[in-house]
């Protein structure tokens, strides 16, 4: 196995130990019906979907080519010297959303 698979196996073992400590049983338990197992699995998938949505929204906020309002494509319009606009060093980048017509400015911060 690769190092990646080894790491997954370690995490699965740790998760099994946590489950045993928390619930006092293992996956070999026999007290749940098939429907109960399916319900648990569905709940886990719903939690995963919420986590994925959080990451998608976070990623959109970090990407400079995606509109924060509608997730449309931001197109570059122009760069200006920050000194001309604000009397400081740096660059101001102007972007435009093709979907919702929003305007976005990224203002560079002076590096120390």
Indicate whether 75 and 31 sit together in one domain: no
> Number of structural domains, the chain?
2
List CB contacts of 97: < 8 A, sequence separation 6 or more.
Answer: 67, 69, 70, 72, 73, 74, 75, 103, 104
φ/ψ bin of 67: left (φ > 0), alpha (ψ from -120 to 50), beta (otherwise)? beta
Range of the domain at 77: 64-112
Strand partners, 80: 92
Q: What is the average pLDDT across 81-107?
A: 85
Polymer length in residues for the chain: 112
Whether residues 39 and 86 share a domain: the answer is: no
Burial of 14 (0-12, 13-18, 19+ CB in 10 A): exposed
Rounded to whole angstroms, how far apart are CA atoms 68 and 102?
9
Residues 57, 68, single domain; the answer is no
Same domain as 54, residue 76: no
Q: Model's pTM, two decimal places?
A: 0.51
pLDDT of 89 higher than 70? yes
pLDDT at 62 over 80: no
């Amino acid at each position: 196995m690769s190092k990646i698979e080894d790491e997954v196996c370690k995490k699965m073992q740790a998760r099994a130990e946590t489950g045993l400590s928390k619930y006092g049983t293992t996956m070999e338990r026999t007290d749940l019906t098939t429907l109960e197992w399916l319900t648990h699995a569905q709940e886990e998938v719903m939690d995963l979907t919420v986590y994925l949505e959080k990451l998608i929204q976070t990623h959109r906020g970090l990407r400079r080519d995606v509109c924060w309002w509608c997730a449309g494509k931001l197109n570059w319009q122009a760069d200006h010297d920050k000194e001309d606009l604000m009397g400081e060093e740096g660059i101001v980048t102007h972007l435009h959303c093709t979907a919702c017509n929003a305007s976005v400015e990224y203002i560079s911060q002076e590096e120390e």
